Structure 1
């Protein structure tokens, strides 16, 4: 009943409240991003949502547009500034996704929306993560985030899909707030975020 009738109204009310309460923070971060990283302030990217429907996800940008002599963008590790790292480590770069939640493209809790090019790489088990709206945070984010393997991440996502509950969502919300302060799992061992998903070798 919660999943079907109550989760979406709760998302709408909480995201609207958060936007109103955090509006000064959103404005300040937007000004700082414009001053330190340039324009545009927001990073926009197409992501697959519930039922693999494509939507535009919003985040504060955390990288510069620095390019090499051939006009190619420099590696993420070079373009990610100290200020950008701070935004990511505190998850402040994710705040514009509150508007995605308000619009109904995302939920407060659910599997994180990944890249469109990964869609053709999923096995049937992994595709099930799209049976619910993607989330601002989810089980994978409070259980290691980018420091865990893709296999573990997908298993946590599908487990969430099978066990959506009011209590479970609030546990994830509180753990997300705690993780933002502790700053755990921001990066994998070999990347500033997470290594690209190369395709699955795991059949479940």
Structure 2
């Protein structure tokens, strides 16, 4: 039910059904260059990271999955993500991280995940 306003954004063309989930604007200055690539596509109501762990995975893993989606997106992948999203809703898997109702706030990249050029 809480996704209904996002469906309006899909109809207006501001979002897609599938893509990296939109995050808080306050996170924008915290992204590494690689993590920011998630913004190369419109945000989605569901995405690759949501069907591969949602809030039960680390921010680093979530961003890697988002960038993987950006690099590999196609119609068949989107159909697969939509199908698996429906399945996840019924199984209620990956909804929360251990010990948390949702995922912890993003505070920026860890030293291990910094991109060196």
* TM-score, with length taken from structure 1: 0.54
Find out whether 1:111 has 2:20 as its counterpart.
yes
Which protein has the bigger strand share? 1
**Aligned match of 1:139:** 48
Counterparts of residues 25-40 of structure 1 (less than 5 Å): none
Instruction: Indicate the SS of the match to 1:136.
Output: strand
Equivalent-residue separation in structure 2 for 1:165 and 1:199 (angstroms): 29
* TM-score, with length taken from structure 2: 0.93
Greater length-normalized contact order (CA 8 Å, ≥ 6 residues apart): 2
Counterparts of residues 55-70 of structure 1 (less than 5 Å): none
**Aligned match of 1:153:** 62
Q: Deviation of residue 104 (structure 1)?
A: 1.1
Task: State the structure with more CA Rg.
Answer: 1
Q: Which of 163, 185, 191 is 2:72 aligned to?
A: 163
Equivalent-residue separation in structure 1 for 2:12 and 2:93 (angstroms): 29
Find out whether 1:127 has 2:31 as its counterpart.
no
CA RMSD of aligned residues (A): 0.8
Equivalent-residue separation in structure 2 for 1:189 and 1:117 (angstroms): 24
Unaligned runs of 5+ in 1: 1-91
**Aligned match of 2:7:** 98
Unaligned runs of 5+ in 2: none
Moved over 4 A (4+): none
Q: Deviation of residue 93 (structure 1)?
A: 1.6
Equivalent-residue separation in structure 1 for 2:5 and 2:26 (angstroms): 23
Count of aligned pairs? 113
Q: Deviation of residue 191 (structure 1)?
A: 1.8
